[in-house]
Amino acid sequence: MLIGSILGLTIGFLLPTDSQRIFNFFQWTEKLAIGIGRYTVIPVLVFSLTIAIYELRQNDQFWRMVLKNSLLIIAVSFFVISLGIMVTMIFTPDRIPIETAEQLESMRLNVEEDIIGIFPSNMFRVLAGSGTYLLPICAFAFFLGMGLSYDRNHSKPVISLIDSLSRVFYHVASFFSEIIGFILIALSAFWAVRYHSILQTGVYKDLILMLGVFSIVLCFGILPLFMYFLKPKTNPWRVLYGSLGPAICAFFSGDINFTIPVIMRHSKENFGVRRRSSALSLSLFSIFCRCGSAMVAAAAFIVIIKSYSYIRIAPQAILSIGLYTLMISFLLASHPGDGAYIALAALCFHYGGGEYSAGYLILKPLAFYLVAIGTFIDVMINCFGSYVIARTNGFTEEKNVVHFI
């Protein structure tokens, strides 16, 4: 994955940035690459989560695991968003020149439609979806896993079938993770083309630097530091090393669904996390713990406010932005590939009042970078959080670092 990313970056930086033909080609390859990465998400998630819920129910551990995951998601979301806003207020990037606003795009959080989409009129319709919105998939797996627990005499053949399908599709997903290094060549090349173009403008360099440094300090310093307080004791740098594969995929794809099969495989083969824990934690964190994307949106929104006005932002306004951002972080399930930019648009629409409701458009050229940083933080938190839950509940089997993938 690292070699593929370096090759792609090299290719992207060597190509001309003003060629529309090159840009269109990489747009097409990105769509193809994301599709390949998402190809196995629904089957592996449905069957793995179903059997995980069944096994946890058999041991009376399901609701306790859900509660622990939920509390950790709320705590880490509050911490990351608060820290991000605080850092942005202290090290505020330079103002961004306000250009003529483009036509408003239809970019809103459709919470009402998302809730309706959880329960379609036909339960099996969720399996034939696009694979973008995973909450209906997880709801399907929840009810199926619960249904398997009521009468084992009748459900035993179905349990065996679902267990077998879970293992089969895990190996299918593993095959795709084996070739993902080649896929990352295309993704990182397109990322480099866009990044090179942005650097030439020189407009967003302060925001780029602040978000980049903050994400590195958070994911490579602060998160591992918290692992020192974990009981039983564990080596945080070992966990960090084992999470680098999903982190690379997250950064260059900007799509959290793209990384799910990679996280699942790394959790099992690097950390020895058992399926019943990893499937549940991965699902909950991927759907509800999007605090990295929300934090990036909050930081960008503060920069937009300061670009439009020289007036100091009042403390109560900062508190309001933080709370609204925290709420948004739980509502990005239907936006796996553009969470940070959608969250930024939602903040602008909510607080704009006609003055800067279109403010997110001035950061449209930088949207890919905001999404990359947000997804990178989301996935790192997903890996650390899933491991912490499994470790504290005895669902891990120690693996030697030399056997890491």
d(CA 12, CA 367): 18
pLDDT value of position 127: 85
Per residue of the chain (405 residues), what is the pLDDT tens digit? 999 999 999 999 998 877 888 889 999 999 999 999 999 999 999 999 999 999 999 989 999 999 999 999 999 999 999 999 999 999 988 888 776 445 556 577 888 888 998 998 888 888 877 778 999 999 999 999 999 888 777 888 999 999 999 999 999 999 988 899 999 999 999 999 999 989 888 889 999 999 999 999 999 999 999 888 877 778 888 889 999 999 999 999 999 999 999 999 999 998 889 999 999 999 999 999 999 999 999 999 999 988 877 778 888 999 999 999 999 999 999 999 999 999 999 998 888 766 667 788 889 999 999 999 999 999 999 999 999 999 999 898 888 877 787
pLDDT value of position 297: 96
- Total domain count for the chain? 1
Taking each continuous run of H as one helix and of E as one strand, the counts in the chain are: 18, 0
Strand, coil or helix: 110: coil
d(CA 386, CA 32): 29
d(CA 121, CA 21): 44
Strand, coil or helix: 351: helix
**Token reading at 203:** 């407009």
- Report the DSSP beta bridge partners of residue 119: none
d(CA 309, CA 320): 18
In order of 33, 252, 380, the CA distances from 247 in angstroms are 17, 9, 6
Residue 353 CA, chain-centre distance (Å), reads 30
d(CA 385, CA 72): 7
pLDDT value of position 354: 60
In order of 161, 162, 187, 289, 377, the CA distances from 268 in angstroms are 21, 19, 25, 21, 21
Spell out the long-range contacts of 154-158 with Cβ–Cβ below 8 A and sequence spacing 24 or more: none
Contact indicator for 299, 270 with CB cutoff of 8 Å:
no
**Token reading at 272:** 């020895």
pLDDT value of position 159: 92
Looking up tokens 């594969």, which residue turns up?
A: 245
CB burial string 318-334: b at 16+ within 10 A, e below: beebbebbbebbbbbbb
Q: Greatest CA span in the chain, whole angstroms?
A: 70
d(CA 211, CA 101): 24
d(CA 283, CA 225): 25
What end-to-end distance do the CA atoms of the chain give, in Å? 11
pLDDT value of position 95: 83
Q: What is the CATH number of the domain that holds 397?
A: 1.10.3860.10
Q: Which domain holds residue 96?
A: 2-403
The predicted model scores a pTM of 0.94
